[in-house]
Homo-oligomer: A and B are copies of this chain.
Amino acid sequence: MQLGMIGLGRMGANIVRRLMRDGHECVGFDVNSDAVDAIVADGAAGATDLQDFVSKLQTPRVIWLMVPAGLTGSILEQVADLLDEGDIVIDGGNSNYRDDVRRAAAMRKRGIEYVDAGTSGGVFGLERGYCLMVGGSDAAVQHIEPLLKTIAPGVGEIERTPGRTGELAPEEQGYLHCGPAGAGHFVKMVHNGIEYGIMAAIAEGLNLLENADAGVREAEHSAEVAPLEEPEFYQFPIDTAKVTELWRRGSVISSWLLDLTATALNENPTLHDLAGRVSDSGEGRWTVKAAVDVGVPVPVLSSALFERFASRGEDHFANQVLSAMRLQFGGHKELPAGDVLEAGGRKSESNDRGQSDTA
């Protein structure tokens, strides 16, 4: 069937390519005409502006928006003015599900169907397919199902879940109608919230492995330093690149994120060129806020988010306040960075240790 794609960045262009490979017909538009030219070279029809774009689509039109989240609202407004009743607009970007709820209501009044499609798959999506979490009316989602089926990864080589029999369900093919408009991005949001948690679990564990030799390192330091309590138990120089590779096979924690970690550590075992300033991109935050709204405890997901904040120094004033309190009640001066050993075998406060405990 036919799809019009607005936004021909990496994601949008790859979805178009994946659709055309499977026999669908695509019309592409982007403010960057080079992006349009490139997709036309691959076999799509190109449009010079939104009016041209809309005119090239058969009704009921099916339009996929794949633009930065900050622009979705205004582009939706512009394109909606050119549409007819019964047309379908799909937001495939990274919108907050709350915007979907609002936009779907606004479009509904104009007779336009609004569908939200959360996508996961990253840079591997063209080959691997995109996991699709979809929200919208039954009629609209049913209408676009052929497109979803193509964009999705399909059943692939993944073993069937024991107990499932008969015809393949949509979720076994990599797409799912999750509920009314907003449900797709809601499920995608939670997916990313979980992703933060899994990433953090792996990262924390590897950090512990990386420091399993704290008892060895300590011995390199001067004798006057507060010792690690039982250095004999921390004498392991662990190779985290090898361990993550190992865990890919037969372990309980085997996972795609672990695969990627093994790749990264194999390329660069010390990760020395990374500053460790970890970005976050909305969904992790929205997940925590949604959990707070409905009263669901998410200590793991929130810890993962807050670690990222702290990695960028957003804990600075809090830490200064802590140091200031310690100075007040115990006269504890801060240690200069990298000065002496920590109880954990690294950096520490040898001088006031005796006093600080008495607070």
Docked pose: A18 CA to B348 CA in angstroms: 32
Contact across chains for A359 and B195 when beta carbons are under 8 A apart: yes
Number of copies: 4
Q: Which residues of chain A (227-252) have a CB below 8 Å from chain B? A: 227-230, 232-239, 242-243, 245-252
Q: Which residues of chain A (315-331) have a CB below 8 Å from chain B? A: 315-331
Is A289 interfacial (CB 8 A cutoff)?
A: yes
Least Cβ–Cβ distance between A272 and chain B, in angstroms: 8
Contact across chains for A200 and B203 when beta carbons are under 8 A apart: no
Contacts of A249 in B (CB 8 A): 129, 131, 152-156, 158, 172-174
Q: Chain A 132-167 against B: per-residue CB contact (8 Å), 1 yes, 0 no?
A: 010100000000000000001111111101111000
A131-B246, A279-B334, A300-B204 known; A122-B329 Cβ under 8 A: yes
The residue on B at minimum CB distance from A209 is B190
Flag the segment in A20-28, A49-57, A349-357 that touches B: A349-357
Is A2 interfacial (CB 8 A cutoff)?
A: no
Contacts of A198 in B (CB 8 A): 197-198, 201-202, 253, 255
Q: Can you report 13 A-B residue pairs in the complex whose CB atoms are below 8 A from each other?
A: A11-B355, A69-B353, A121-B252, A130-B250, A158-B249, A182-B235, A195-B359, A203-B319, A207-B296, A265-B324, A300-B304, A307-B315, A313-B337
Extra A-B contacts (7), CB below 8 Å, given A178-B242, A203-B318, A295-B312: A69-B357, A161-B259, A199-B325, A204-B300, A208-B296, A294-B345, A313-B347
